Structure 1
């Protein structure tokens, strides 16, 4: 069974979380199929009632004090103390350090954190070495993202037959991004194909509210601009068969295609935009007149036109022809 442990709530102590926001975050994670969450001691103190149906993990400095935190499923620590409810974390910053894992073969579970440079080497061989050196210990792989490859490494770890990875929403804390890993596994290995992922948009909005930072519009999976297109041939292809151009449909993550017309657009793109606005226009010369002005303005502005700009052009063409728009 594949297990994704989301560590977002362990990375955000510098932000002000309200108890209701924490509860909503846990509920939304559960709704997209993430049932394992790592939290910090600070978040634990703010939670009040622990969320039902969620397994909670927490990094603890003194394992002997873990009984002060009832309800935690597993504790992470770096002191090398065995225990069924303890996960020993190893920081490995260089692939040459993988050999040290041999010293922890008797542990029930290890979290291997780091290995940023693995993508620069034969990563499948390194992953095999990690498993061999770990013996019977369970491995949770937590690649860091210094080289921008943590998501790829996390997904590869699962595709190589392993089961557990540690991630965070948007990759906060130098981790693999939970939403990217989740979608990549859905596409590559049909993981949770029936799970509704539309709550990702609400998670993004909550993340922005708490951090007061805007997620990049081009962020994979959750960026608001990733389904916006302008180029003519590209738009025509999306209208006819979107699966040829995108790995997953926007509806899967609560979005829809945003088609913008501009200097590269063709007649089909104009017809699509007219239909999207509920405007009926049958005469080809009117459509071509709109297209001509769209290309001109798109070229002058050096970008795709906003919907209001497109409708302004339609109004002008209809006015010139002495017509009213049918909608």
Structure 2
């Protein structure tokens, strides 16, 4: 909405190319190492997604990098296959021998890099840069040049070196914010300065040290940058690179730029890369995170169910995601009703109130109620006796390795309080024995079958207890209860079955 008011102040290109460096910079994520086969599989998916350039690796660094680039090239992908190289003949020859059609060459230009890493003068660095670009072009290969740490390089020198490589025939110059020190305003200013002098396309490579890689990439595009370096899931050195999925979706939906990216494949590719690298995405990761389209708060759920756009800037289907209504302490009645409608479970007001209150109680205890949990809770309440002749007023259980499990129950039977205590082989057995003693005068009802199942995994999983009770007259009834306390679930299930038998009588 408001972006339309400032678009005329931007220098937006007609389209933006995506230079994916997941296989190179992404692999430099600490602890990540990809096999040749894994690189091939990721490259295939990147090409299907529609990226323009795939940086396959750093050929001179290992034979595996050369092999990976070679195997990727054999697939005949639509994307350019790029190799990284320093402005050294050995590096450049390794990339050329790998038969890539695109070489990204780089050298540090900032005072820090010149003095402490390279120990070279400005003139030497400029000369090596020009020679490298000319060497690449002499071999008929696309050349992209990066002035490493350009955002901490003196502007006059940065312009001088970029002008020199442009004169040498470079196809694209890249501006790396190598240690992520820029903010969007300064990044925009720098790209505008360079754009005013250079004729070749400008690319940017932003790191996320201050969490600004995506913002800086977008600010660069606003200033006229034609290409963005990015990685799937924002992988990369230290805090990573600009996240491809975030950059792409912002450019398409907020800036209305036409891009050749099949966005519905983003979640699948994100999950695929996450499995291969072992780097899990936080649930609140934008676009592809598990919670990116999850809603819990009652107000939000109500809005989303009425019209998704109220709380979703894009549809989940646009990126291959799905919407989730999460049940917990903030859940409203509308969310639960919508879920129950999905399951075809129809509850009356009293039954629904019981489900609603149980979900809220579980949420207050810190539990996220899953779909399976809700269904089990609703079905157990739906199947309960309509009338409670026997009501639970309270119970306690004592157990441990030094005492015999003992339970005491207090019941209201036809309005009269009854208390009983019994032992058992465990707390559940003791509680059921105590109930049977308390109701013995009303009817001789015994447990005939007992089953328990954990609905979901974890120590806080809901327990679903199913029982069959019977009396000497041949009356039988089932009882069911679902709650996080096994003993309580057992007590409720037994009382449910007892009430059904007493109603039958």
With the shorter chain as reference, the TM-score category is 0.7 to 0.9
| CA deviation after TM superposition for structure 1 residue 191, in Å | 3.5
Identify which of 54, 64, 75 aligns with 1:37. Answer: 54
Question: CA 1:138–1:220 in 2, change beyond 3 Å: closer, same or farther?
Answer: same
Q: Distance in 2 between matches of 1:183 and 1:170?
A: 13
Shift in CA distance, 247/99, structure 1 to aligned 2, threshold 3 Å: farther
Distance 1:38 1:17, change over 3 A: same
Asked whether 1:161 is paired with 2:224, we answer: yes
Q: Deviations over 1:221-262 (max 9, x none)?
A: 111122222111111111111112121111122221111222
Q: How much has 1:202 moved relative to structure 2?
A: 2.8
Which of 23, 28, 35 pairs up with 2:40? 23
TM-score, scaled relative to structure 1: 0.88
1:97 aligns with 2:115: no
Would you say the 8 A contact 2:82–2:103 is kept in 1? Answer: yes
Q: In structure 2, do the counterparts of structure 1 residues 298 and 91 end up closer, same or farther at CA, with 3 Å as the change threshold?
A: same
Q: Tell me the number of residue pairs that the alignment of Structure 1 and Structure 2 aligns.
A: 320
Q: Does structure 2 conserve the Cα–Cα contact (< 8 Å) formed by 1:118 and 1:126?
A: no
Distance 1:207 1:127 in 2: 31
Instruction: Give the Cα separation in 2 of the matches to 1:122 and 1:151.
Output: 14
Q: Which of the residues 249, 260, 266 maps onto 1:183?
A: 249
Output one character per residue of 1:140-180: Cα deviation in whole Å (capped at 9) or x when no partner.
11122111101111122223332111111112123111111
Whole-angstrom CA distance in 1 between matches of 2:208 and 2:326: 34
Q: CA, structure 1 residues 96+270, in 2 after alignment: closer, same or farther (shift >3 Å)?
A: same
Mark the CA change 1:126 to 1:254 in structure 2 (over 3 Å): closer, same or farther.
same
Is 1:152 the counterpart of 2:215? The answer is yes
Contact 1:124 1:160 in 2 (8 A): yes
Q: Find the counterpart in structure 1 of residue 176 from structure 2.
A: 113
Q: Is the 8 A contact 1:88 1:111 kept in 2?
A: yes
Q: CA 1:234–1:303 in 2, change beyond 3 Å: closer, same or farther?
A: farther
Higher relative contact order (Cα pairs below 8 Å, separated by 6+ residues): 1
Structure ranking higher in strand proportion = 2
Aligned to 1:319: 383
Evaluate the alpha carbon distance shift between residue 120 and residue 59 of structure 1 in structure 2; reply closer, same or farther with a 3 A threshold.
Answer: same
> Deviation of residue 121 (structure 1)?
5.0
Contact (CA 8 Å) 2:82, 2:100: kept in 1 or not?
no
Q: Distance in 1 between matches of 2:103 and 2:150?
A: 24
Aligned to 1:283: 348
Shift of 1:185: 0.9
Asked if the contact 2:230–2:242 (Cα under 8 Å) also holds between the matched residues in 1, the reply is yes
**Partner of 2:182: helix, strand, or coil?**
helix
Does residue 54 of the first structure (1) align with residue 68 of the second (2)? no
Q: Distance in 2 between the 1:77 and 1:308 partners?
A: 54
Structure 2 residue 165 is the aligned partner of structure 1 residue 142: no
CA distance in 1, matches of 2:344, 2:96: 66
Output one character per residue of 1:167-210: Cα deviation in whole Å (capped at 9) or x when no partner.
11112123111111111111112335785323223322322232
Unpaired stretches in structure 1, ≥5 consecutive residues: none
Secondary structure, aligned partner of 2:317: helix
TM, length-normalised to structure 2: 0.58
Match of 1:308 among 358, 372, 387: 372
Residues in 2 aligned to 1:216 and 1:274: alpha-carbon distance in whole angstroms: 29
Question: Is the CA contact (8 Å cut-off) linking 2:105 and 2:143 kept in structure 1?
Answer: yes
Structure 1 residue 10 displacement after superposition: 0.9
- Whichever of the two has the greater Rg, that structure is 2
> Would the alpha carbon gap of residues 100 and 48 (structure 1) be closer, same or farther in structure 2, given more than 3 Å must change?
same
After superposing the two structures, state which structure 1 stretch, 149-158 or 195-204, moved more: 195-204
Identify the residue that residue 77 of structure 1 maps to in structure 2: 106
The answer for the alignment partner of 2:143 in structure 1 is 86
**Pair 93,87 (structure 1): closer, same or farther in 2 beyond 3 Å:** closer
Deviation, structure 1 residue 95: 5.2
What residue number does 2:390 align with?
Answer: none
Look up the SS of the partner of 2:199 in the other structure.
Answer: coil
Tell me, in whole angstroms, the C-alpha distance in 2 between the residues paired with 1:92 and 1:131. 18
